[in-house]
């Protein structure tokens, strides 16, 4: 299963960004977030300020816990429909 860190604006509660958790650090991030062995991993895992700073240092971004709150969430990326390839192929003869 793929997971991402999602940021939500504290004032509007709207999602502001997301970052995929790479497989190589997933177990470490799940441990920091408090995943339990009996969890199915399908829920939201809110991160407190200490947790997000630790996760941010692993993933290489600057956390802003005063502006955003953060969660670890499962992510099912959309399948590639090939739409982009068809557009490029249709315009391949254009300069």
Nearest Cα to Cα of residue 5 among 72, 75, 63: 72
What's the pLDDT at 91?
A: 47
pLDDT < 50 positions in the chain: 86-87, 90-92
Count of other CB atoms within 10 angstroms of residue 68: 17
Contact between residue 47 and residue 76 where contact means Cβ atoms under 8 Å apart? no
Q: How many helices (H) and strands (E) does the chain have?
A: 3, 4
Q: Which fold has domain 2-90?
A: Chitinase A; domain 3 (3.10.50)
């Amino acid at each position: 299963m793929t997971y991402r860190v999602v940021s939500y604006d504290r004032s509007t509660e709207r999602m502001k960004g997301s970052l995929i958790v790479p497989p190589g650090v997933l177990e470490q991030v799940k441990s920091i977030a408090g995943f339990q062995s009996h969890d199915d991993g399908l829920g939201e895992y809110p991160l407190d300020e200490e947790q997000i700073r630790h996760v941010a240092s692993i993933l290489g971004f600057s956390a802003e816990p005063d502006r955003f709150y953060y969660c670890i969430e499962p992510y099912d990326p959309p399948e590639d429909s090939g739409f982009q390839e068809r557009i490029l192929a249709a315009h391949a003869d254009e300069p």
